[in-house]
Amino acid sequence: VEKLPWWIKQKEFWDFTTEMDWSAQKPFEYSIRNFNQRLSPKQAKQYNSRYTQVMEWRKTSKVPGFTHRDYAMKCGADTITLLSDLAGIDKNGESALYWTGSPKLMDVTPTPEEMGCPKYEATPEENLLMIRTFLKVCGASKVGAVPVDVKFKSTQPKFYADKIPLVYENVDKPYITRSKYVIPDRMKWAIVFSTEGGNDLTGRGNNWVGALGASLYSGGPSDYIQIQVQRFLKALGYSSVVSGICYNLQNWPAMGVASG
């Protein structure tokens, strides 16, 4: 059992110290996230031209944060831009990083059957300790879990991507079609983890160096960790699905609270 400070109470799932009004949670409308859809062709052309000029200026200006050296640091240290190349592209031309994982990375991970052994099984407590240990080895700072029960599903977004329903079915493995994202009913737990942020870099503002605060310490590492845990679970004999940066399986802060 994880050792916690004396002031932290042990409570049941969903029994929060402060009552939460889950009805106040509203899903983000993905279909309007791209502001270019609201621009006329002339406005879009002007914006793209100006954006290109600004980006070129940012690479070689003398302004702190936007110098040639700063841009070189961004190019060399940014891990997020490497991720899509590492994961590969799916049949629709999109990054194959999320959901069931990149075939390019997952296909080389053996299953227990391929290794000639039964899948790993243990108690829920042992499994949580195991997954917490693994995630912390990979760089996570805090790890918890939430049961995928009626309450979890009732607070979950109804759509995973652009108006594509997120549904549960009595199937063995998760899958995707053009009309739905399917999670098997047999998936009973959601693993929640966090990574430490780069406060010093992020505090430098919206420049090449400041942008590394998220890619080096938060967004980038969490995406790599998701790949690692999917491969780990596959080798143990289990399937999993993961959230993406834009499309989420749940409200991240809410699940952070729910998992302790």
What pLDDT is stored for residue 37 in this prediction? 62
98: number of Cβ within 10 Å: 24
What pLDDT is stored for residue 219 in this prediction? 64
Task: Output the pTM of the full model.
Answer: 0.77
What pLDDT is stored for residue 258 in this prediction? 82
What pLDDT is stored for residue 242 in this prediction? 82
Residue type, 244: G
CB burial class (10 A; 0-12, 13-18, 19+) of residue 192?
buried
What pLDDT is stored for residue 118 in this prediction? 95
Low-confidence ranges of the chain (pLDDT < 70): 1-2, 26-38, 80-81, 84-85, 87-98, 160-162, 214-220, 244-248
What pLDDT is stored for residue 101 in this prediction? 74
227, 85 contact by CB (below 8 A): no
What pLDDT is stored for residue 209 in this prediction? 79
Q: Which of 74, 3, 23 is nearest to 254 (CA)?
A: 23
Q: What are the domain boundaries of the chain?
A: 32-56, 62-258
Largest CA distance in the chain: 62
What pLDDT is stored for residue 238 in this prediction? 92
What pLDDT is stored for residue 127 in this prediction? 94
